[in-house]
Structure 1
Amino acid sequence: MLSLRVLSLCIGVWLLLSIVGECNAQQILRAEHCEGSEESNDNPFKRPKHVYRDSRTASRVARRLVGNNTVAMINTQFEHGNDTVAMSFPEYAIDCFDSGDPVLLFIKMSHNWRNIAVQAGYDSSVTYTVDSSEFDADWPGASPGSMYGMPRVNLRGHFRLLRVAGDDAFDPEADRIQQCFLSAHRETGSWFPGDGNRVHSSVWTEFVVDSGYFVGGFGGYAYIGALGNDEYHYQHSQDVDEGSLHL
């Protein structure tokens, strides 16, 4: 009889440990808490304050990404003999006009520009990511401390050459772009297009966004999917609930 009781107790302990183990595994896979674990401040998968699964909100977050970052990864195609190879390099890219279509300063000798210049219509793709300094709770749907729990966006579109005056005449648009770049990257002053450039031939361009693909973080907390042109370029500052998402 005693052996039976001991056996029953062992089975009960084993079942309890199994339940706890299953709960922890599901918690990790689903980025959720088991009941009673909400008090832990060390859990990196704590449910974000703001959860969203719609493309409209994702477009607002994407615009914030573009507005906050001053460096973009440019993805182009490099023709090497009979092969086409994907190539990615960073470039200075700033949303100087707050339009969602960032301005880029290209040095014409760079691989990025040479790859872009040979493409019809300057079609290319720009990827914006968030670095470690942005791993904070201000991003809607974010899981701070995890790169995969943070938002990122891939924007697809085409480049438009900006025909702005050089040093020989005052151009308000050129002055605005120059001041915009100098505020973020002071060293770029010697690269600006115009007669004063004694370093390399360069050009101002605007990347006109046509569409995008957005990953807000973990799928249970943030939108993952396509972004349309109209939603992305919508003037989100008109949204009455904007403050609730800290955008």
Structure 2
Amino acid sequence: MQERTNPTHLVSTIFPSPHHASLSNSPSTLEQRPSGLSGMPIGLMDYISDCEPSTGNPTILAINIATSFKNAAAGSNVSLSLQWTPPYPPSSRIKNTRFPSFSSHNGKEAVPYSAANLPRFSLLGYLEKIEEGEEKAMGLRKCFMKAHPDARYWLPGNRIHESEWVRLVVQDVYWIGGFGDRAYIGWIPVEEWKNVTGEEVESVRLPGEKKGWKEWSFEGLADWGLEL
């Protein structure tokens, strides 16, 4: 998973209820959070790594002072959004022959590919602490710093912030493979997610992994007023 997606992803949580916010030393008190946040979702970037590939549960380095992990500690479930970003731009882009202005903006394209046409998915579940004995057996530090060398400064035991290793225990998976007329959009059974092998992952080629790929191609394109 790690090698096929970006190493940074969006972690979403929900702010705690008034009951939790009223507790002493609560995140709301310490951060002087505005009132009325209870039940509101918030998504923040975080580092993840695939240090337990056989389980399908991503590894996260939790900085306990960070909002996402305070919300999780207060009982929030967690969703992790991942997306595929191609290393190479397509050799041909989607063009609209009827409305050419839709294809570009002042002759410049802000993004060299159609992000809406690319795979992305969300993992839903809860955070579970990885105990110290497991950490050593799994070689988490080496695994995590392979993807995030700068994380060495806030690994567990650092003198700046209290941190710990956690796993996102995946309970549900929602997948968007691209445009709905040619790609699957919907829920994936969690058993299938957890049983995917490394060999199966490597057997799949995603758009843009190799140079010369076409962004969007199918028969009957002219009927839509589109061409490559």
Match of 1:193 in 2: 156
CA drift at 1:223: 0.5
- Larger radius of gyration, structure 1 or 2? 1
Task: Give the letter for the 2:14 counterpart.
Answer: Q
Normalising by structure 1, we get a TM-score of 0.60
CA drift at 1:69: 3.0
Task: Check whether the contact 1:105–1:202 (CA below 8 A) recurs between aligned residues.
Answer: yes
Match of 1:89 in 2: 44
**Which runs of 4 or more aligned residues in structure 1 lie more than 6 Å from their structure 2 counterparts after TM superposition?**
none
- For residues 1-247 of structure 1, the aligned pairs below 5 Å read 64=1, 68-79=5-16, 81-82=35-36, 83-99=38-54, 100-119=56-75, 123-131=77-85, 133=87, 145-164=113-132, 171-173=136-138, 176-194=139-157, 197-237=158-198, 243=203, 245-246=204-205
1:15-48 CA-partner distances (Å, limit 9, x unpaired): xxxxxxxxxxxxxxxxxxxxxxxxxxxxxxxxxx
SS in 1 for 2:39: strand
Match of 2:21 in 1: none
SS in 2 for 1:200: coil
SS in 1 for 2:42: strand
CA drift at 1:171: 2.6
- Computed over aligned residues only, the root mean square deviation of the Cα atoms, in angstroms, reads 2.9
CA drift at 1:200: 0.6
Share of identical aligned residues, percent? 28
CA drift at 1:216: 0.3
Judged with a 3 Å threshold, the aligned counterparts in structure 2 of structure 1 residues 179 and 75 are, in CA distance, closer, same or farther, namely same
SS in 1 for 2:116: helix
Q: Within 1, Cα distance between the matches of 2:123 and 2:88?
A: 19
Show structure 1 runs of 5+ residues with no match.
1-63, 138-143
Judged with a 3 Å threshold, the aligned counterparts in structure 2 of structure 1 residues 160 and 246 are, in CA distance, closer, same or farther, namely same
Judged with a 3 Å threshold, the aligned counterparts in structure 2 of structure 1 residues 184 and 65 are, in CA distance, closer, same or farther, namely closer
SS in 2 for 1:171: helix
Higher share of residues assigned helix: 1
Where relative contact order (Cα < 8 A, 6+ residues apart) is larger, the structure is: 2
CA drift at 1:242: 7.0
Q: Within 2, Cα distance between the matches of 1:115 and 1:183?
A: 28
Match of 1:4 in 2: none
Task: Check whether the contact 1:108–1:202 (CA below 8 A) recurs between aligned residues.
Answer: yes
Show structure 2 runs of 5+ residues with no match.
17-33, 92-111, 207-228
Task: Check whether the contact 1:94–1:102 (CA below 8 A) recurs between aligned residues.
Answer: yes
CA drift at 1:229: 0.7
SS in 1 for 2:40: strand
Task: Check whether the contact 1:103–1:207 (CA below 8 A) recurs between aligned residues.
Answer: yes
